[in-house]
Amino acid sequence: MTGTAPDYVLHYAPDNASLIVRLMLEELRLPYRTALVDRSARQQDNAGYRTLNPAGLIPALETPDGPIFETAAILLWLSERHGAMAPAPGSADRAGFLKWLFFTSNTLHADLRMLFYPERHAGAPEAVPAFAAATRARISRHLALLDAMAATQPAWFRPDTPSVLTCYLPPLLRWVALYPQDTAGWFDLAAVPALHAVAAAMETRPSARAAAEAEGLGATIFTHPSYACPPEGSAT
């Protein structure tokens, strides 16, 4: 959404982890503006951006309380700040929500980075194929665990109820389908039907349509994704 003097500035690159935060801002119907981080020019390494996110990763969100980085931290802060899209602190559902949020962030999302950039993590170049294969196997196990959780339809992760995790997981499923490009299609979304149902519902929401238009993501951005054709910037 746009508005006068928005409280939030999302520093983003198309089809990057900033997409997850954009979905959350749209679902909360919060005024915000975006600031492009041009990956093709390595702007994430600029001194100015590093004052917002010293790790040089995308996204960063400027807020009235200062800049926040790390996707899960931004989502959790927004949820608590606005009292929406997650079980309230102290509620009976809070523990279940938190464990799966941080599993998604610290385990699944972290392994996706290793899959997308195996040459940074495998050591010797000849170790890359085995490293990538082991990473794919781990990701398959992570997704199976998440699918089993989704099948129980907790209040904070249902196809008919937008939440922190319905903003977080569908973009990860999108990237599993698309990257790395030389092994695209290695994972079949049909293997995780409960996650597929959440992704299918999410991509029809106004938040996803707004994100798709802003970042050039196409129509079926989670269930049958295509590579981004953004109006500005670069996804890689």
Report pLDDT digits (tens) over 170-219.
Answer: 999 999 999 999 999 999 999 999 999 999 999 999 999 999 999 999 99
| pTM of the model as a whole | 0.95
Alpha carbons 52 and 197: distance in angstroms, whole number: 36
Mean pLDDT of 86-113: 98
**Is the predicted pLDDT of residue 108 greater than 80, yes or no?**
yes
**Is the predicted pLDDT of residue 2 greater than 50, yes or no?**
no
**Is the predicted pLDDT of residue 5 greater than 80, yes or no?**
no
Q: CB-based contacts of 224: which residues, under 8 Å, 6+ apart?
A: none
CATH 1.20.1050.10 fits 94-205, yes or no: yes
**Is the predicted pLDDT of residue 4 greater than 90, yes or no?**
no
Strand ranges across the sheet with 66-69: 32-36, 8-12, 60-63, 66-69
pLDDT at residue number 194: 98
**Is the predicted pLDDT of residue 77 greater than 60, yes or no?**
yes
pLDDT at residue number 18: 98
**Is the predicted pLDDT of residue 55 greater than 80, yes or no?**
yes
pLDDT at residue number 3: 45
Q: How many CB atoms lie within 10 A of CB 7?
A: 13
Mean pLDDT of 223-235: 95
Percent of the chain whose pLDDT exceeds 90? 94
In the chain, domain spans: 94-205
Alpha carbons 70 and 189: distance in angstroms, whole number: 26
Mean pLDDT of 58-79: 98
Mean pLDDT of the chain: 95
